[in-house]
Chains A and B, each alone.
Chain A
Amino acid sequence: MRWTRLGKIFDPADHRLPNGCSEFAQSPQALVFPDFVRIYFSTRARDQGGQWRSHVAFVDMERDLSRILRVSERAVIELGGLGAFDEHGIFPINVLRHEGRVRAYTCGWNRRVSVPVDTAIGLAWSDDGGLTFRKHGAGPVLGPSLHEPFLVGDPFVIVHEGRFHMWYIFGTSWKRPAPDAPPERTYKIGHASSPDGIAWRKEEGRRVVEDRLNADESQALPTVLRIGMRWHMLFCFRESFDFRRNRDRGYRIGYAWSDDARRWTRDDDAAGIDVAPSGWDSEMLCYPHLFECDGNVYLLYNGNEFGRHGFGAAVLA
C-alpha cells in the first residue's frame, strides 16, 4: 500500500468536548454520511479518584477530511453502572450501518485488583443516526471464554455475504517484566462470526495474524477492507514491555492480506506507512482505521503518546 499523508487532522485541545474531556482522541473510526464523515474517537477525563476514564465523542468533517464541521455536544454513549464491564471507560468504538440502522461495538474497560484492567465487547444501538447510543443489555456480547481468558476488545465488524464478521483482540498473558513491576498484557488478533451480530461464535484462541517480533508481541486494533477481490488488514503491534516511552519498542502499523478473509499472510513491509522523521507521528503509529469515501481509501491513525494530541489521516495513492 502506498499512502499520502494528510497530517494531523484533529487535535482535542482545540475543542470543547462532552464530559469535560480535553486530552486524547484515540482510535478514530469513520461512519460516512451523505454530506460529511463522522469520526468517532475516545477521549479522556479524570474521575473523582484522579484516574483516567475514556469517553466516546465524534467530529464531523467534510467528506475529503479537509475541514472540521462540528464536534459532538453531548455524551455519545454512557459508561456502565457499578460493577459493569464498561464502568471505567469505552475505548475504542466501532460503528457501522446495517439494514438502515446504526450500531456500535464497544470495548468496555473495568478495573481489577491484581492487574489494572479487564475489557469485553459490548453492542449498542442508535436511533438518531449515530448521535447517541443505547446499550444492548448491561453486559458484553463478547467476553472471556475457555481459551481467550481476558482482555477481549478492539472490535472491528463488517457484514459480508449476510454474515457478521468480527476481528478483535484477546489477551494471552499477564506478565511482570520484573518481580516488583506492574503486570503488562499481551494480546493477539482473533476472529468471530455471527448470523445477527448479537450471538457470536469465536474460534477459541486461533490467532489470525502470526507474530513478527516475538511471542510477546502485542497486536491491537485490526481494521479490514476489501479492495477488489483481496482483503487487507491493518493493525498495530508492539513489544509487551517498555513500549510506552521507548520509540524502538512502541506501536507500529502492521499489515496482512487474505483472499478468503480467513487465512491471512502477514507482510508488514507492505503496510506502506512508518513513523515520520519528526512531528506528531514520529514516535509511534497506532490504532489504524480504514474506510472508503468518494472512491478514495482513507487511513485514520494515532501517533505519539497513543493519540494524546489527536489523530491524523492518509489517503491511498
Chain B
Amino acid sequence: MSRGPGFRWRKRGLLFDPGSVSGRPWLREFAQAPATLVFDSFVRVYFSCRPPADANGQYVSRSAFVDLDRKDLFRVLRVAERPILELGGLGTFDEFGTYPVSVARDGGEIAAYYGGWTRCESVPFNVAIGCARSRDGGETFEKLGPGPVLPYSPGEPFVLSGPKLRRFGGEWQLFYIAGCKWKTVAGRAEPVYKIRMARSDDGVHWSRLDRDLIESRIEPDEAQASPDVIRLEGRYHMFFCYRWSADYRNRERGYRIGYAASDDLVTWTRDDARAGIDVSAEGWDSQMVSYPHVFELDGRVLMLYLGNEVGRHGFGLAELEAA
C-alpha cells in the first residue's frame, strides 16, 4: 500500500443527500466536510449545512450529524434534531458560521475543532479555529470559550480553517489550512490557502509548525483544503483537495483530490497520481471531487467526499479496492 503504484477506489455513489431531510430549516442545503466517529452499531458522520441564504445572498454555516447503519452505510438511522454548536455572539469569531468540524474521542468526552466564521468589510470573511467538547456522546458540544483556540498569527495572518484533529503517538496533531493572501479576481476577493499543522500535548495549547506542508503543484497560488491524515500499514497518508485560485467554479479548474505520504507527519511527499479518485463522466461528482475523509471500518478503508458545488447535494462514499 505504501510504496505501490497508487490507490484504487471504487465509487459507491451519493451516500447522504441533505435534500432528503425535512423539518430542519437550518439544514436546507449542503452537507460539507464529512468527518466520522464510529460507534458500536452506527457511524456518526458530522457535516456542515446551511439554511437558505439571507436577503443579501449570504449564508450562515451550521454543523450537524447523521447516523448511518454500521452494517449498511446507505441506511440513515437518524439526523441531528438541532445543530451541534451554537453560533457565537455579537462580534465573536464564529458569529456567522461553524464549519467545518473535526472530532476525536478524548477519555469519556469528545473533542471538536471547528472553523468559526466572521464577516469583514474589505474581504467577505475571516475564519479562526475554535474548540468545543461534548459530554453527551457527541450530540451537542460546548465551546471552551467565546474566542478561538488557534487564532491569526504572524505567519498565518487570516483564514485558519478546515481543522482535522488527530492523535498519533500520544500527541495531538491538528492539520488545517491557513490563508497566505487575498487575491482580487474580477472585483472579488478570493483567499489563497495552504495546508499547515500544529501539535499539542494537551489539545488546547498548540505549537505551530509555521510552514506549508504540501508543495503547490498546479500554480503557486493553488488553494489546498481538507488535509485528512490516516495511518495505514505503518505510513501516514494524506488525502486533501486543491483547485485553481481564480475562475475555479467549473470542471476544468475546480477541486480535485490530491495525495501525499509521510513517515514522520512533518515531511510530506506529494504524488497526486496515486490518489486514485477523480471526477466521474457524469452525475453528482462529475464537476469536482473535494473534501475527502478517509477512515477504517470493519476491515475496510472508506472515503467520504464531496461532489459538485462543494457538497450542495451531499457527500458520497468510495471504498478502497487496492493500493
Interface residues of A (CB under 8 A from B): 80-85, 87-88, 110-115, 118, 120, 122-123, 135-141, 143-151, 171, 174-175, 183, 185, 198, 204
Contacts and interface: CB of A to CB of B under 8 A. Distances in A.
B203 interface: no
Interface in B102-134: 118-123, 126, 128, 131
Interface of B: 88-93, 95-96, 118-123, 126, 128, 131, 144-149, 151-159, 179, 181-182, 184, 189, 191, 204
Contacts of B152: 85, 120, 139-140, 143
A183 B91 contact: yes
A294 B248 CA distance: 63
Contacts of A114: 90-91, 95-96, 118-119
A166 to B, nearest CB: 15
Given A144-B128, A174-B91, A183-B90, A112 B157 contact: no
A200 to B, nearest CB: 11
B174 to A, nearest CB: 15
28 contacts: A80-B157, A82-B181, A82-B182, A83-B189, A83-B191, A84-B157, A85-B157, A85-B158, A111-B121, A112-B118, A114-B90, A114-B96, A115-B90, A122-B154, A137-B157, A138-B155, A139-B153, A140-B153, A145-B147, A145-B151, A146-B144, A146-B204, A147-B146, A149-B147, A149-B148, A150-B91, A174-B89, A175-B90
A83 B160 CA distance: 13
Tell me the dominant secondary structure on chain B's binding face.
loop
Contact of A150 (B93, B121, B155, B204): B93
B155 to A, nearest CB: 5
A120 B152 CA distance: 9
Given A114-B95, A140-B152, A140-B153, A84 B90 contact: no
Given A83-B189, A146-B147, A141 B120 contact: no
Contacts of B121: 88, 110-113
Which interface residue of A120, A122, A137 has the most chain B CB atoms within 10 A? A137
Contacts of B181: 81-82
Q: Which 4 A-B pairs have the closest CB atoms?
A: A137-B154, A139-B157, A146-B145, A149-B147
B120 A83 contact: yes
B122 A147 contact: no
Which interface residue of B155, B159, B204 has the most chain A CB atoms within 10 A? B155
Tell me the dominant secondary structure on chain A's binding face.
loop
Contacts of A151: 91
Contacts of B146: 146-147, 149
Contacts of A146: 131, 144-149, 204
A135 B119 CA distance: 25
B91 A140 contact: no
B123 to A, nearest CB: 4
B119 A112 contact: yes
A15 B252 CA distance: 56
A147 B90 contact: no
B91 A118 contact: yes
Contacts of A88: 121-122
Nearest to B160: A139
